[in-house]
């Protein structure tokens, strides 16, 4: 079971980009350095802090970040340790450290007000987003295709000794509004995870279930309805 959790959760691929002037290097307290990229939008009400899934990195996410930018958001995306050109190894603690460092960079280095930061976590990225929201001020939280905990992806009852990213235990304690998005035909993380997270989440909360969408095609399947839902949630904050 322990092997399953590591294989299911962290699957970094070779970096799809090289460091250049667009890549920001952010040090972590433990000595590691993560890579990030910022997509500015001077007219944005909110800045998305985007946490990607387990098979992605900054390079493969550029088109999506530019889409967020076109739809009125500024965005920062970062790579967890072990992903892209970030240093270090993958792991739960390192993933949490990475999002804290990216958040601090937005607030301290880019002077983005904390209450204008909107967390967006996709799949694995929902876990660090939920964890950060327990400790920091944010405008709101969006999670897409996120699990209740690692072992519940495969087993209805978690193996408690090794279970990781226990989102289901944390989500009720968040203070910021949350939007939970899930594809109804998600073949990787069943939509039952979305339903359970929504049930446990504290208010204010909202959901967006996307018919016919699998794990990787939520935005493509929903199309305009996705952007309209995102805009409505953003305006409600």
Active site annotation includes 193: no
Catalytic residue of the set 123, 129, 149, 234:
123
Active site annotation includes 186: yes
Active site annotation includes 79: no
As a whole number of angstroms, the distance between CA 146 and CA 149 comes to: 9
Give Cα 145 to chain centroid, integer Å: 10
Residue 199 makes CB contacts below 8 A (sequence gap 6+) with none
Beta strands in 52-112, from DSSP E residues, in sequence order = 74-78
Query: 129 near 103, Cβ under 8 Å?
Result: no
Sign for the CA dihedral angle at 202, 190, 4, 34 comes to negative
As a whole number of angstroms, the distance between CA 32 and CA 40 comes to: 25
Beta strands in the chain, from DSSP E residues, in sequence order = 23-27, 33-39, 47-51, 74-78, 117-122, 140-144, 178-183, 205-210
Catalytic residue of the set 86, 186, 193, 206:
186
Query: Quick one: 112 exposed, middle or buried, by C-beta within 10 A (0-12, 13-18, 19+)?
Result: buried
Catalytic residues: 123, 186, 215
């Amino acid at each position: 079971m322990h092997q399953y959790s590591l294989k299911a959760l962290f699957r970094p691929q070779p970096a799809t980009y090289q460091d250049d002037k667009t890549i920001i290097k952010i040090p972590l307290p433990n000595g590691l350095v993560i890579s990030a990229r910022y997509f500015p939008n001077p007219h944005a009400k909110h800045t998305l802090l985007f946490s990607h899934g387990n098979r992605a990195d900054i390079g493969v996410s550029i088109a999506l970040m530019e889409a967020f930018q076109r739809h009125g958001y500024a965005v920062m995306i970062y790579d967890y340790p072990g992903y892209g050109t970030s240093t270090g190894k993958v792991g739960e603690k390192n993933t949490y450290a990475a999002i804290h460092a990216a958040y601090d960079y937005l607030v301290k280095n880019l002077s983005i007000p904390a209450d204008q930061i909107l967390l967006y976590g996709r799949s694995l990225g929902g876990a660090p987003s939920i964890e950060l929201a327990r400790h920091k001020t944010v405008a709101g939280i969006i999670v897409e295709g996120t699990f209740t905990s690692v072992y519940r992806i495969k087993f209805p009852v978690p193996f408690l000794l090794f279970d990781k990213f226990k989102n289901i235990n944390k989500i009720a304690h968040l203070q910021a509004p949350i939007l939970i998005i899930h594809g109804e035909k998600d073949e990787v993380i069943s939509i039952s995870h979305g339903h359970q997270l929504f049930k446990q989440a504290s208010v204010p909360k909202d959901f967006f279930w996307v018919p016919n969408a699998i794990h990787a095609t939520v935005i493509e399947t929903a199309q305009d309805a996705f952007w309209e839902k995102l805009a409505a949630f953003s305006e409600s904050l």
